[in-house]
């Protein structure tokens, strides 16, 4: 079969990661290699919003060297968005507009890089274009620090965030254990419904510097239990380190952050500030009478490209590159995913996952990868994560600081 | 002059840094080279408390390879303390005890690594030993992320913290600028009375990713001014990044964190949690009606050895090594400091600073290194900081995580 000839568009969506730009580099550098099939390569300005607004970047005008520097540049270089397309059966105006733009620029390759919402966008666009008989390959590229996409062994972005969290906790372990005084530290990791990132804290335990307790959103959170758990740790050692997901919830389905804030809300409606880490640290301080710290990794954990995992960067790049090859080979309506063999050393195979198997679903940490007490993860969890954080990012430097890609971002004019 | 023959003791004190262990490595590896002069090398367990309790580590029993790994290990490997010695004229019991231990182990080289409090400890010990006619070389080795020691161009520990802060802010800049929506982020850096660390945020501006506003404790903080400043920035751009020192104070000398917390304290005495960053971010959110984030670098900034500055590591090591050489050459009662030439490329000369010139003093950021508006730093400030963050730490890795030194820490038995 002759490959479909036409232009390619790529967009980034949802929360940034340390390696979402590596996937962009994979798509761009591969697509630019095939001008006979793909004459022009475009980038969406702020994801799908850029399509709706007819704001496309002309990637052909970028220096190849700068595109390569995307491998060390965190966040979404093209800009991101959180725009959710309507159900096309109810309101198809956005889709008509997308089709109009695709036709205008003769785009036959539509690439979208994001999480489960973005795969939903991909799926809806793919179905609409098929319905309208517009021949176009639609490919999803996965990314999310949350690691919660179905159909793939893991997601680009997670390994780097995991490495950031484990390294940072190990360093803080060294700091807090240098004092001869009791202390509790609570770390807050991203993850609203899935505890992959907080679980990855346990990797620091491999070098003897891990958290003592880990609480994930998969298990209902009981603050009295946490206090008892912490007390038990403190019977044996001076310092207790606790890692939690931002999304931990009580048994009745309330976010712990809300529950604890409410506890302190007064008659005037003043509300306590501070995330879960600070609130829990304060609770421990009150209950156990010791020095506490709450440390929220905030945006640092998903932007910390200087600590990105080399494996993650390579895989994110490969997902983009293989996506282009897959599309040129005639496949559409899939997300590029990863499979790993059940036995033997870690390696990944890039697989094609039907978008419908990914869109809007969330993969949580399996119950049997969490310990019986619900305050830690098992060896299976660690064995799963460990290969994902291997390899160092070879980030270029200038002035002792990261040399990020500097894209020209030339908007396509009519 | 024959070098004084006797044993050496080294201790770490005050808040840890990413490179305080590099100074330890400098002292230990140099001292262990001279068994004819210094037959035994000891480490204090938790600083001066280890001397008072007769808890000394036998450094001669450590593997040299592990001592070298101290160059990539953050925090205080021997343990630290915040013990303040009494005025010896009022109560000399601690000093008598120190003298007893020095005699017991025939210690003739007393090294203490810390900030201005620790230099005060050094000074008091030095004077007492002289008064008691106990021949002993007393040497202070500087360290502090705060960079507030007098008598030296800069302090080991600062460059690494500066690099951590500037890199992290640049990464978060990338993240926040990927959205097409207004946002304010407030970063909180350490520094109670001196704004060196918050000022170092400005380095990120060299790669176009710096904070728009910086507030240091040297200038009285006016929250209305900050809101006006932020508004002005937001007239031109979507995102405003603000960096502050934890110690910023209002004109009447109250900590901003206290003032803002008080504002929200209710009739029942409930107090808002959260540090200055979160409080200020909330204030901006309320005043300007936009999305906000408060990010506190907390212990991460002083423990982030994976991002340590190569220059800082080398200098911290050299301060320790030269300290030993200086002491063997007969000098006592000094802190090892750094001088740099006023002209020409950056290089440092290690100098001897009398302890009395350092003890208990704090060096603030000069007024003319802060801009006229009091919301940023000048080119002089940046030129001063930039050489200090150069060079990458070559941290050994294992399992994708840092390979920290594993000391045996064998306690000396009677």
* ipTM summary value: 0.96
Residue A392 in contact with partner chain B when CB distance is under 8 A: yes
Strand, coil or helix: what is A245? strand
- The helix (run of H) or strand (run of E) holding residue B390 is none
Number of DSSP helices (H) and strands (E) in chain A, helices first: 13, 13
Nearest to A73 among B76, B174, B176 (CB): B174
Residue of B nearest to A274 (CA): B274
d(CA A377, CA A301): 20
Q: Could you give the C-alpha distances from B63 to A174, A366, B70, B178, in angstroms and in order?
A: 20, 43, 11, 48
Does the distance separating the beta carbons of B163 and A400 come in below 8 Å?
A: yes
- pLDDT for position A262: 61
Say what angle helices B93-104 and B116-131 make with each other, to 10 degrees.
Answer: 70
Residue B77 in contact with partner chain A when CB distance is under 8 A: yes
DSSP A410: P
Residue B201 in contact with partner chain A when CB distance is under 8 A: no
- pLDDT for position B209: 98
Tokens of A386: 């460990």
| Mean pLDDT by groups of 10 residues along chain A of 414 residues | 93 96 98 98 98 98 98 97 90 97 98 95 96 98 96 98 98 96 97 96 98 98 97 97 96 86 49 73 94 96 97 98 98 98 93 94 97 98 98 89 98 88
CA angle B337, B343, B345 (to 5 degrees): 80
Does the distance separating the beta carbons of B171 and A75 come in below 8 Å?
A: yes
- pLDDT for position A390: 97
Does the distance separating the beta carbons of A264 and B270 come in below 8 Å?
A: yes
- pLDDT for position A413: 87
- Strand-pairing partners, residue B295, are B187
- pLDDT for position A296: 96
d(CA A141, CA A334): 9
Give me the residues of B, 229-258, that contact A with CB < 8 A.
none
- pLDDT for position A263: 54
Query: Which residues of chain B are modeled with pLDDT < 70?
Result: 261-274
- pLDDT for position A4: 97
- pLDDT for B122-144, tens place per residue? 999 999 999 999 999 999 999 99
DSSP A211: -
Domains of chain A: 7-145+305-361+391-402 (3.40.50.450), 158-302 (3.40.50.460)
Put residue A126 in one of left, alpha, beta given phi > 0 → left and psi -120 to 50 → alpha: alpha
């Amino acid at each position: 079969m002759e490959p479909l000839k036409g232009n390619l568009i790529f967009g980034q969506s949802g929360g940034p990661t340390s390696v979402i730009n590596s996937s962009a580099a994979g798509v761009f550098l591969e697509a630019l290699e095939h001008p006979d099939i793909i004459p022009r390569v475009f980038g969406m300005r702020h994801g799908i919003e850029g399509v709706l607004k007819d704001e496309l970047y002309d990637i052909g005008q970028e220096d190849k060297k700068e595109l390569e520097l995307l491998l060390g540049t965190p966040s979404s270089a093209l800009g991101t968005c959180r725009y959710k397309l309507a159900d096309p059966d109810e309101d198809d105006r956005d889709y008509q507009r997308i089709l109009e733009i695709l036709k205008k620029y003769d785009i036959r390759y539509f690439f979208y890089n994001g999480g489960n919402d973005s795969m939903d966008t991909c799926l809806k666009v793919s179905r609409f274009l098929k319905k309208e008989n517009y021949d176009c390959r639609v490919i999803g590229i996965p990314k999310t620090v949350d690691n919660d996409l179905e159909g793939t062994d893991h997601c680009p972005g997670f390994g780097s965030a995991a490495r950031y969290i484990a390294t940072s906790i190990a360093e803080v372990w060294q700091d807090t254990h240098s004092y001869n005084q009791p202390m509790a530290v609570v770390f807050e990791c991203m993850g609203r419904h899935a505890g992959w990132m907080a679980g990855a804290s346990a990797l620091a335990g491999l070098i003897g510097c891990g958290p003592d307790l880990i609480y994930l959103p998969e298990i209902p959170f009981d603050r009295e239990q946490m206090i008892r758990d912490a007390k038990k740790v403190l019977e044996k050692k001076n310092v207790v380190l606790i890692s939690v997901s931002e999304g931990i919830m009580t048994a009745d389905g309330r976010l712990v952050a809300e529950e604890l804030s409410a506890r302190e809300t007064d008659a005037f409606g003043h509300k306590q500030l501070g995330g879960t880490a600070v609130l829990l640290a304060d609770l421990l301080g009150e209950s156990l009478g010791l020095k506490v710290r709450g440390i929220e990794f905030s945006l640092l954990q998903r932007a910390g490209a200087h600590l990105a995992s080399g494996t993650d960067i390579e895989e994110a790049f490969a997902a983009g590159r293989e996506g282009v090859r897959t599309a040129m080979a005639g496949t559409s309506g899939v997300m590029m995913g990863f499979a790993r063999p059940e036995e033997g050393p870690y390696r990944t195979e890039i697989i094609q996952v039907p978008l419908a198997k990914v869109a809007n679903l969330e993969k949580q940490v399996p119950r049997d990868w969490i310990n019986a007490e619900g305050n830690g993860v098992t060896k299976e969890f660690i064995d799963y994560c460990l290969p994902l954080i291997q390899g160092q990012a070879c980030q270029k430097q200038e002035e002792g600081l990261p040399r990020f890609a500097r894209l020209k971002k030339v908007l396509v004019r009519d």
